[in-house]
Amino acid sequence: MSDTHAQTVAQVRDTMLPPAPPPRRETGAIHWLRENLFSGWLNIVLTILAIWLVWTVLSGFVPWAWRGIWGAGSLTECRQIRDQLYPAGTSVACWSVISERWQQLIFGFYPPGGYWRPPVALAVFLVAVLPILFTDLPRRLLWLTVAAPFLIFFLLWGGTIWGPLTMALGVVLGGVVWLTGRRTGSPLVTLVATILVPLLFWMFLAKPLAAELAQLAPWGLPRVASKDFGGFTLSVVIGLSAICLSLPLGVLLALGRRSDMFFISKIAIAYIELIRGVPLIVWLFTAQLLLNYFLPRGTNFDLMLRVIIMATLFAAAYIAEVVRGGLAALPKGQYEAADALGLDYWQAMRLIVLPQALKISIPGIVNTFIGLFKDTTLVAFIGMYDPIGLATAIRASTDWQGIYWEIYVFIALVFFIFCFAMSRYSIWLERRLERSHR
């Protein structure tokens, strides 16, 4: 009878159970809290301490900021309004200093009639870098990327339109020399000619040609001197200029340091170690005080241009080390594969090695960019009115003497927006490249 029962009763279920939801502890907010905040005793202790710290800070800051006063014309008037609205001893933010001086903090001493020009220049820059940052966009937009530096210079500094156009003509001449030399001459001679022809044109022909054209058709915008730049306009111009210029220079320095050619390698090593061994503030003082001693007598070298050059050279040394780390992280087989394909040095670097090395180096490069953008506040020590320098000048005025936190909170918030945007783009790019790699 037992044999008959064994033959008639199935040992394996032949019907599916109805679907059931997962346990509530394994989904949703409860699962996230258990995994991220309360996964162990150490994590629980750190979570409780962090909550206590955040509460301690926000419990004082949020009411202070929320009760802020926006409609006063001075700190004294702000305190009078506070005494009328709140009990004695209540801490209240005086945001009126921002509503009264926000234009100065953003534009510095830029002419009020031209306040539209820096935002338009920033918008042109953002549109110009979109084809580089997002490769899905049409490649024909790269023409705007090429033209953007000259248009931005024209918008910010003004003058006749012929100055930027003659500078662009020098770039066109360099491009013609490069395309012609690639077909007929040696690569080294072509590279040297491509660099020398625009430089000679800019040194000897661009300025007289622009002056003659300005006599015929004086089209342009009111000229703005570099000393009138200030606030976030100054920080953004210096920061973005140094970021855009330091990346290609840093890549070249990294390749030079790893080069098999003795003199190129040693020069790159000496440059990188010298720049990295000296603080940026020292190089800024060098740009302000010492650089003119090495120039011909009577040369007027714009201070902002000197600062941009020094910031670019400084950041390039750090980027070179970051990229060198990415190059060193690549397996030797990648270089051998490029040799097996018959690629020359520059083809191998452009098509195989650098794309992978730069992908590895993205976090370090963006970290250097963020540090460089924040370091633009150091120009306050050489007499330039960045947001920190303007904050000091505002606090020294009779109307706002004694105010502190409100200005610095505003400055910190704006810097945070810029730096957070760069950080989030870096994270997005890393994830995108990881997906494309798979």
What is the pLDDT, as a whole number, of residue 4?
Answer: 53
The pLDDT score that the predictor gives to residue 125 is 92
What is the mean pLDDT for each group of 10 consecutive residues in the chain (438 residues)? 53 74 68 80 89 89 88 88 86 90 92 92 91 80 85 91 89 84 71 84 86 86 91 94 93 89 90 92 84 66 87 94 90 83 81 87 92 92 88 88 88 94 90 67
Whether 197 and 178 have beta carbons less than 8 Å apart is answered as: no
Q: CA-to-CA distance for 412 and 374, rounded, in angstroms? A: 10
Whole-number Å distance between alpha carbons of 304 and 378: 13
Whole-number Å distance between alpha carbons of 279 and 294: 21
Cα dihedral sign, 192-198-199-203: positive
Burial class (CB in 10 A: 0-12, 13-18, 19+), 344: exposed
Using CA atoms, how far apart are residues 328 and 109, in angstroms rounded to an integer?
A: 47
Q: What single string gives the DSSP state of each residue in 116-129?
A: THHHHHHHHHHHHH
> What is the CATH T-level fold of the domain 98-110+226-437, as seen in this structure?
MetI-like fold (1.10.3720)
Q: Which two three-digit tokens encode residue 167? A: 């500078």
Please work out, in degrees rounded to the nearest 5, the angle formed at the alpha carbon of residue 40 by the alpha carbons of 35 and 42: 125
* Rounded CA separation 93/68 (Å): 4
Best CA proximity match to 321, nearest among 275, 353, 283, 290: 275
Contacts of 348-351 with C-beta under 8 Å, sequence gap 24+, read 349/255
DSSP of 41-82: HHHHHHHHHHHHHHHHHHHHHHHHHHT-B-S-SSHHHHHHHH
In this structure, are residues 312 and 253 in contact, taking their beta carbons and an 8 Å threshold?
Answer: no
**187-201 and 162-184 are packed helices; what angle lies between their axes, rounded to 10 degrees?**
160
Residue spans per domain, the chain: 98-110+226-437, 160-221
Distance of alpha carbon 324 from alpha carbon 357, whole angstroms = 8
Q: Could you give the CA distance from residue 413 to residue 232 in angstroms, rounded to a whole number? A: 12
